[in-house]
């Protein structure tokens, strides 16, 4: 008689908080979708309790000991804490570890911490978000990677065609220098030198180490640039659908498959993105968005101008909306369920 499957998820659930960062959203999305689509009993360990490491350690040990199959979603510090522990349990207790990778620079962690290769290869699978990361990990000797792109359960909006006195650009991500905030503001300033023709609204949690700098930047920013605060992750589409295009001028080293691109596509927004990390896997130049050389403000400005005066903008909005269909959860959740059910 087949026993009822019990699965453990270790990740950043941030229980009792209202966090909308990519790691938390990805962890919660996986948990909610598996609860809906599987018949499993799913238990969790919330790594948000890392401020109490002793409690987290004992909670984790108890949970790992009582589960055969364990899905983990870990950041840099989380990997350093859990990987040696999980490796021990795979070897001594034959636990099955399924690693759902956060971000896009795991290969660099392997280069900096050679033992990570041994840890990662001891897992059943490493689900990575992009083909680029899969190749980079294979290049450093990690052989058990499978690509599952980022996904979100979001409503896909109807295309809105509305006249705005100013073309409405939006930034929708963690607010930090490496996300290109200052480049976006400077590009808007350059475009509006003679006449005010566009505006920029910025949404997202402000990185703690960037707060002072961001306050300074906003004090000197033109009136067409505004910071609008933080939006709950399930309200992204209702917020973004009123804009014309999303800016994503990132040069952040940890970029994987940014969830903000799914938010934009679901809202019918084309994306203007830097040629950085795996952006080219997601943003198709001239179809659902526009790609420009990283850290080049003048080409960012030119891309924005192209959008503002392009008669094909409606077609690009339709392509963006079609792209959103690719990142609905159903297919990928079924892949995850099938992988664990085969064991």
Task: Work out the burial of residue 299: count CB atoms within 10 Å of its CB; fewer than 13 is exposed, 13-18 middle, 19 or more buried.
Answer: middle
Q: Measured between alpha carbons, how far is 94 from 269 in angstroms, rounded to an integer? A: 46
Q: Same fold for the domain at 6-149+329-341 and the one at 167-326?
A: yes
Q: For position 47, what pLDDT does the model report?
A: 95
Q: Measured between alpha carbons, how far is 191 from 198 in angstroms, rounded to an integer? A: 8
Condensed to tens digits (0 to 9), the pLDDT of residues 133-177 reads 999 999 999 999 999 999 999 999 887 776 778 999 999 999 999
Q: Measured between alpha carbons, how far is 33 from 259 in angstroms, rounded to an integer? A: 16
DSSP-derived pairing of the beta strands 245-248 and 167-172: parallel
Mean pLDDT, rounded, of the chain: 95
User: Whole-model pTM?
Assistant: 0.95
Quote the CATH superfamily of domain 167-326.
Glycogen Phosphorylase B; (3.40.50.2000)
Q: What is the mean pLDDT of residues 57-85?
A: 97
Q: Measured between alpha carbons, how far is 196 from 316 in angstroms, rounded to an integer? A: 24
CA angle (212, 216, 218) in 5-degree steps:
115
Contact predicate 216/223, CB 8 Å: no
Which is more confident, 309 or 116?
Answer: 116
Q: Measured between alpha carbons, how far is 6 from 70 in angstroms, rounded to an integer? A: 9
| Tokens of residue 239, six digits | 């917020």
Has residue 1 got a pLDDT over 50? no
Condensed to tens digits (0 to 9), the pLDDT of residues 206-237 reads 999 999 999 999 999 999 999 999 999 899 99
Q: Residue ranges per domain, the chain? A: 6-149+329-341, 167-326
Q: Measured between alpha carbons, how far is 183 from 226 in angstroms, rounded to an integer? A: 15
Q: For position 14, what pLDDT does the model report?
A: 87
Q: Measured between alpha carbons, how far is 19 from 25 in angstroms, rounded to an integer? A: 8
Q: For position 50, what pLDDT does the model report?
A: 64
Ramachandran sector of residue 94 (left: φ over 0; alpha: ψ -120 to 50; beta: rest): left
Report how far apart, in Å, the C-alpha atoms of 333 and of each of 6, 44, 98 are. Answer: 17, 17, 13
The radius of gyration computed from the CA coordinates of the chain, to the nearest angstrom, equals 21
Find residue 245's DSSP bridge partners.
169
Q: For position 3, what pLDDT does the model report?
A: 59
Condensed to tens digits (0 to 9), the pLDDT of residues 7-62 reads 999 999 988 777 778 999 999 999 999 999 999 999 999 998 767 889 999 999 99
Phi, psi for residue 44 in degrees, rounded to 5 = -130, 155
Task: Indicate the CATH number for domain 6-149+329-341.
Answer: 3.40.50.2000
Express the helix, strand and coil content of the chain in percent, nearest 5 each.
45, 15, 35
Task: Work out the burial of residue 240: count CB atoms within 10 Å of its CB; fewer than 13 is exposed, 13-18 middle, 19 or more buried.
Answer: buried
Condensed to tens digits (0 to 9), the pLDDT of residues 277-319 reads 999 999 999 999 999 997 789 999 999 999 898 878 889 999 9
Q: For position 227, what pLDDT does the model report?
A: 99
DSSP annotation of 285 reads: B
| Tokens of residue 157, six digits | 């909006």
Residue 320, CB-side half-sphere exposure with 13 Å CA sphere: 33
DSSP notation for 169-210: EEEES-B-GGGTHHHHHHHHHHHTSSS--EEEEEESPBPGGG
Handedness of CA 299, 241, 20, 320 (dihedral sign): negative
């Amino acid at each position: 008689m087949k026993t009822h499957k019990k699965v453990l998820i270790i990740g950043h659930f941030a229980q009792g908080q209202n966090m909308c960062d990519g790691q938390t959203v990805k962890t919660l999305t996986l948990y909610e979708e598996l609860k809906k689509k599987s018949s499993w009993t799913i238990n969790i360990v919330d790594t948000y309790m890392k401020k109490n490491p002793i409690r987290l350690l004992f909670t984790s040990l108890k949970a790992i000991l009582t589960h055969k199959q364990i899905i983990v979603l870990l950041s840099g510090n989380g990997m350093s804490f859990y990987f040696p522990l999980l490796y021990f349990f795979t070897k001594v207790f034959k636990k099955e570890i399924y690693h759902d990778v956060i971000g896009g620079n795991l290969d660099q962690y392997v280069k900096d911490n050679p033992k990570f290769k041994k840890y990662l290869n001891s897992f059943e699978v490493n689900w990575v978000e992009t083909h680029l990361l899969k190749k980079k990990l294979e290049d450093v000797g990690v052989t058990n990677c499978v690509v599952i792109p980022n996904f979100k359960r979001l409503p896909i909006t109807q295309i809105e065609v509305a006249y705005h006195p100013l073309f409405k650009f939006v930034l929708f991500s963690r607010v930090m220098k490496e996300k290109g905030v200052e480049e976006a503001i400077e590009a808007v300033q350059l475009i509006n030198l003679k006449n005010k023709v566009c505006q920029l609204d910025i949404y997202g949690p402000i990185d703690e180490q960037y707060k002072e700098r961001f306050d300074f930047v906003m004090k000197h920013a033109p009136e067409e640039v505004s910071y609008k605060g933080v939006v709950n992750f399930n309200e992204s589409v209702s917020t973004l659908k009123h804009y014309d295009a999303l800016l994503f001028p990132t040069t952040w080293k940890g970029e994987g498959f940014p969830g903000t691109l799914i938010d934009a596509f679901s809202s019918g927004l084309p994306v203007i993105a830097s040629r950085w990390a795996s952006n080219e896997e997601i943003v198709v130049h001239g179809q659902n968005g526009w790609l420009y050389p990283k850290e080049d403000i003048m080409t960012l400005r030119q891309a924005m101008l192209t959008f503002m005066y392009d008669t094909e903008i409606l077609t690009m909005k339709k392509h963006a909306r079609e792209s959103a269909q690719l990142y609905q959860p159903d297919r990928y959740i079924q892949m995850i369920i099938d992988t664990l059910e085969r064991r």
